[in-house]
């Protein structure tokens, strides 16, 4: 079990750095393989490559009428977690090539235009895409996922410049400390990141997609809404689990929200 | 298609009857949601298939790696530094569950009022799927 601190001040960063060293020792003891700086560098580049490819796929979602749906972009992120990394990277490259071709030919994943929505909150691991599906079936275009199966997973890269082991471990620890999970307090960078993502992806509205009993994200939604109000971005909160029983309730709410967003004239885009 | 993996699942102690239910449920749901979309990129085929592969081909790959002496670790949450695991020839395998099918199987050990992701994962473990 890795101890993830709850703050990001200097003593917390030191604690986390020690935990990363402890993890290194743990995997070395497990396999009997001593990690060399060369090998670590190679793997830092490999995982960074995966993150960069996922970033590129998400770049296409910034366009008007994106060539990939939010539902499918989520599937890519879900698959990134458990398939062979090299094969995954190759398949992402193929997808990027096809998406570029679709853009050139003016092919959209959506049959009609709809409000551009940023999803914010908890992860949707492989098998669960309920809220994404219902939201897009309600006419929304999900253009970004601010979640652990989205931006939080691939937004930040590990700095590749350090050559020595300690420098590399520090760079890795720093990268993982940038993750803006609601388990941190304060977590102002998450609010800033969301406001920035809303602008970057030209979102017209935000849906907080929160798994039941994830109190951190649930509580934090209010602080985010207050920041969104300032830039006139409407939001709604959906708290749900993996069951099908609330699909129709979610549908009624997402359809209404899509209308609210569509009539929010002052919103950008 | 799944027939080819029955021996693998048996070797791993999977409850075949329940696993068939899980797979059928997953495939049906995927058909209703993702596959019903029009105008999808053709390259999504690999990602669609990964839904099946994560129970089959990928499991076979990992088992082969382990049978040859390789090590793997199950991980939760995105704080585990993958690059360090890979550098020690250890495969990191995130275990976060997304299936609604398995959630209630967690009742044997877990309270109902906790995270559905945790319940889904342990529901799979406790139902042998």
Is A241 a domain residue?
Answer: yes
pLDDT tens, position by position, A92-118: 999 999 999 999 999 999 999 999 999
* Per-residue pLDDT band at A63 (split at 50, 70, 90): very high
Query: Based on the structure, what is the number of domains in chain A?
Result: 1
Range of the domain at B115: 2-126
Q: Does the pLDDT at position B42 exceed 90?
A: yes
Q: What is the CATH number of the domain that holds A162?
A: 3.40.50.11900
In the prediction, which pLDDT does A145 show?
98
**Exposure b/e, A85-112, CB count within 10 A at least 16 = b:** beebbebbeebbebbeebeeeeebbbee
Rounded to the nearest angstrom, the minimum Cα separation between B123 and chain A is 12
Length of chain A: 269
Q: Does the pLDDT at position A265 exceed 70?
A: no
* Per-residue pLDDT band at A264 (split at 50, 70, 90): confident
Is A77 a domain residue?
Answer: yes
B contacts of A181 (beta carbons < 8 Å): 79
Is A206 a domain residue?
Answer: yes
Of B26, B43, B73, the CB nearest to A127: B26
Range of the domain at A19: 10-262
Size of interface A-B (CB pairs under 8 A): 182
A contacts of B114 (beta carbons < 8 Å): 213
In the prediction, which pLDDT does A92 show?
98
Query: Based on the structure, what is the number of domains in chain B?
Result: 1
B41–A72: do the CB atoms touch at under 8 Å?
yes
Six-digit token string for A102? 């679709």
Rounded to the nearest angstrom, the minimum Cα separation between A232 and chain B is 31
The percentage of chain A sitting over the pLDDT mark of 70, rounded to a whole number, equals: 98
**From CA B129, how far away is CA B121, in angstroms rounded?**
10
Q: Report, as an integer, the average pLDDT of A70-95.
A: 97
Is A91 a domain residue?
Answer: yes
Q: Is B85 on the interface with A (CB under 8 A)?
A: yes
CB A152 within 8 A of CB A181: yes
């Amino acid at each position: 079990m890795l101890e993830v601190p709850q703050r990001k001040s200097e003593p917390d960063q030191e604690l986390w750095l020690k935990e990363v060293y402890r993890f290194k020792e743990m995997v070395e003891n497990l396999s009997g393989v001593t990690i060399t700086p060369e090998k670590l560098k190679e793997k830092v580049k490999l995982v960074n490559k995966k993150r960069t490819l996922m970033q590129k796929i998400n770049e296409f979602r910034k366009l008007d009428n994106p060539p990939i749906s939010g539902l499918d972009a989520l599937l890519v992120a879900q698959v990134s977690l458990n398939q062979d990394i090299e094969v995954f990277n190759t398949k992402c490259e193929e997808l990027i090539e096809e998406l570029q071709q679709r853009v050139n030919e003016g092919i959209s994943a959506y049959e009609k235009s709809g409000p551009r929505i940023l999803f914010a909150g908890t992860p949707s691991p492989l098998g669960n895409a309920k809220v994404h599906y219902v939201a897009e079936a309600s006419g929304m275009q999900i253009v970004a996922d601010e979640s652990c199966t989205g931006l939080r997973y691939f937004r930040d890269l590990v700095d590749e410049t350090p050559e020595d082991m300690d420098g590399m471990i520090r760079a890795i620890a720093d990268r993982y400390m940038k993750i803006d999970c609601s388990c941190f307090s304060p977590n102002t960078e998450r609010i800033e990141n969301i406001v920035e993502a809303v602008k970057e992806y030209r979102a017209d509205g935000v849906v907080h997609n929160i798994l039941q009993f994830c109190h951190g994200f649930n509580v934090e939604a209010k602080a985010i809404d207050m920041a969104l109000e300032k830039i006139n971005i409407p939001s709604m909160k959906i708290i749900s689990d993996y069951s099908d029983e609330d699909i129709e309730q979610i549908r009624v709410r997402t359809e209404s929200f899509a209308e609210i967003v569509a009539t929010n004239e002052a919103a950008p885009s | 298609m799944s027939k080819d993996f029955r021996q693998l699942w048996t070797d791993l102690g999977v409850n075949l009857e329940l696993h068939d239910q899980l797979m059928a449920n997953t495939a049906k749901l995927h058909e209703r949601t993702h596959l019903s979309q029009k105008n999808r990129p053709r390259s999504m085929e690999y990602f669609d298939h990964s839904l099946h592969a994560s129970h089959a081909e990928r499991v076979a790959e990992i088992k082969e790696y382990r049978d040859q002496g390789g090590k793997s670790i199950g991980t939760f949450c995105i704080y585990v530094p993958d690059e360090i695991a890979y550098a020690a020839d250890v495969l990191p395998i995130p275990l976060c569950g997304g299936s609604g099918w398995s959630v209630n199987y967690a009742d044997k050990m877990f309270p109902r009022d906790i995270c559905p992701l945790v319940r889904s994962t342990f529901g799979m473990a406790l139902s042998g799927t």
